[in-house]
A and B are shown apart, each in its own frame.
Chain A
Amino acid sequence: MAEIEAVEVTRSYRMDGVSVDALRGVSLTIEEGDYAAIIGPSGSGKSTLMHLLGCLDRPTTGTLLVGGRDVGTLDDSELAELRNQTIGFVFQSFQLLARTTALDNVALPLVYRGVRRAERRKRAAEALDAVNLGHRIGHKPTQMSGGEQQRVAIARALVGEPSVLLADEPTGNLDTVNGDEVMGILERLNKERGVAVVLVTHEADIAARARRIIRVRDGLIEAVAEAPEPS
């Protein structure tokens, strides 16, 4: 079964009575263990698509299945539960709680799953280990470099053992060295744990590392390029 399946999905926003069609009919399947890059010009609808894939939003029309469930039929709290269980988000601007330690930042998704504190801390520590930050457990975001902060964010996306990681321009705020390290970690998680990774990027060389490149323009998928099977 596919992790995510979108069929003719549209999303329009109403602004001051004018309707903006951010997505105009997108069909897309994310398989188990997938590794896809979404590229396209600014304003083409990439973030809107990511929000839909991540159950932060519902399609205006079309069908969207996440983890086998029809997103359009779920209420807000069912949607919250679904993304807590199946989706891990990584944002361009990290989105860490500033006054909270790395460990507690990483443990946050488990709070909303009702996991006990001791268990949460244990799992958060493991997730930080997996992104090579086991030694910075007690540090706060302000005491860390951008690369380290993004790795904390990845650990947070990872801690709930989701089946899909959605990363919207994860290297957008990082230099090449830190960007490469972050990409290395995402790829290792994809390979070793079989987590599907979908990322949005502007950078061609980063997109080229994915198994599939999905090109979006004006709210439509313009082209999908499959990378040759690695030999």
Chain B
Amino acid sequence: MRITESFRVAFDALRANRLRSLLTMLGVVIGVAAVVVLVAIGGGAKQLVTSEVEGLGSNIVFVVPGKFQIGTTPAVSRLQLSDADYLNRVLGRPDAVAVDLTSAEDLRAGTNTYYASVQGTTANVVDVFDRPLAEGRYVSKADIATARRVIVLGPDAAAALFPDTDPIGRQVSMSGVEFRVIGLFQAKGGAFGVSPDTEVHIPVTAAQRLFGMDNISGFAVKADTPGDVDAVGAKLVDALKQKYQGDEFTAVSQTEILGTIGKILSMLTLVLAAIAGISLLVGGVGVSNIMLVSVRERTKEIGLRKALGARQRDVLSQFLLEAVMLTSIGGVIGIGLGIGASAILSAFTPLPAVLAWWSIVLAFGVSVAVGVFFGVMPARRAGRLDPVVALRTE
């Protein structure tokens, strides 16, 4: 039997039982749509986080105490503010090294409160991290020298604390200590609550007093080119190891952070896709079931076809093709639905969704494979029917 003829016969059989065919497809449709959407969401999250980390500023290398890995608690720091000057001298560049000391605090302005990541910084942070201001000025060297109680707000903090008024010149209190607002950051955007827009910055010296600490968390330096990043990191780590004999320090580049986050998100995407894949398998079981019913219902037809000269493989391929058409049409519908749902998600929710071509190709491939896998058993049963017995059934 010619293959075009097999397609025609299979298609006619599916059309003859339209509603049943659609319901049988549904399992595959849902499974495929879920795979496409979940992979798109995973891909979108990855893209978002990537742009976020890239947004920190390019060529940045962080130096932190201890053997640092994403996901572990940072080691207790013995680093001092004066180490920044030491490292500036090592690099031969004044003001190259930015300082960070971070803690989460409750901020209060009148009756408004905001829980923010409070960063004690040096004046060069705006240059290293490329954080332009919308209004006012940033923390100055004089502010640092005198531990002046001034604060620069990110847009989210500003909106929460001063919904109706211009914050510049107003007071914000933390742990009962008053800080005067001197500047506002421009919005940068972000997601999952890890936007730089939620930060507030104060002079690192003021932060040490406020938090009751005399150390700092770590340093950040901007290398001249991406190629310099590793060399600069190594140089700083060596210098610190010389000063603090026996202590470990780690240089982390943006690329490394990206790589780690990327790996985590890829894994997450894969797990989501696998879970969605299970519903595809369940859909396949439904196909198998309906094909068995169909073989039973059409026993007489099978007997007749055999009497007219159909071979075992003609009947087998007819039913197999029917199952494969069922799942692949379901797959195409599911892909369409998945693309539509991803577009709707992107348009109407903050959840990003980036379609991955590989997921579409894979989803279609898997639907075809599900048709073959779950269609083979009923199709073989049909092919093996004894024509005499089949013709005698009523």
Specify which of B2, B5, B16, B306 is in contact with A80 (CB 8 Å cutoff). Answer: B306
Task: Count residues of chain A with CB under 8 A from any CB of chain B.
Answer: 27
Cα distance, A85 to B301, chains bound together (Å): 20
Would you call A108 and B308 a contact (CB within 8 A)?
yes
Would you call B312 and A76 a contact (CB within 8 A)?
yes
Specify which of B4, B16, B309 is in contact with A113 (CB 8 Å cutoff). Answer: B309
Would you call A97 and B308 a contact (CB within 8 A)?
no
Task: Count residues of chain B with CB under 8 A from any CB of chain A.
Answer: 22
Residue of A84, A85, A113, A160 with most partner-chain B CB within 10 A: A84
Would you call A112 and B310 a contact (CB within 8 A)?
yes
Q: Does B391 contact A (CB under 8 A)?
A: yes
Specify which of B1, B308, B312 is in contact with A114 (CB 8 Å cutoff). Answer: B1
Would you call A84 and B308 a contact (CB within 8 A)?
yes
A116-139: which residues lie under 8 A (CB-CB) from chain B?
Answer: 116-117
For A83, what are the chain B residues with a Cβ–Cβ distance below 8 Å?
307-309
Would you call B1 and A95 a contact (CB within 8 A)?
no
Would you call B309 and A109 a contact (CB within 8 A)?
yes
B58 to chain A, nearest CB (A): 64
Task: Known A77-B313, A114-B1; judge A156-B387 contact (CB<8 A).
Answer: no
Q: Does A54 contact B (CB under 8 A)?
A: yes
Would you call B308 and A81 a contact (CB within 8 A)?
no
Task: Known A91-B391, A111-B1, A114-B1; judge A99-B16 contact (CB<8 A).
Answer: yes
For A77, what are the chain B residues with a Cβ–Cβ distance below 8 Å?
311-313
Would you call B391 and A114 a contact (CB within 8 A)?
no
Encode A61-98 as 1/0 by CB contact (under 8 A) with B: 00000000000000011001101110001010001010
Cα distance, A89 to B391, chains bound together (Å): 12
Q: Does B180 contact A (CB under 8 A)?
A: no
Would you call B1 and A80 a contact (CB within 8 A)?
no
Q: Does A56 contact B (CB under 8 A)?
A: yes
B172 to chain A, nearest CB (A): 78
For B309, what are the chain A residues with a Cβ–Cβ distance below 8 Å?
80-81, 83-85, 109, 112-113, 160
Q: In the A-B complex, list the 7 residue pairs whose CB atoms are closest, starting with the nearest.
A: A84-B309, A112-B309, A77-B311, A80-B311, A109-B308, A95-B304, A56-B387
Could you list 8 A-B pairs, sorted by A, with CB under 8 Å? A51-B388, A56-B388, A81-B309, A83-B308, A83-B309, A109-B309, A113-B309, A160-B309
Name B's A-contacting residues (CB within 8 A): 1-2, 4-5, 12, 16, 300-301, 304-314, 387-388, 391
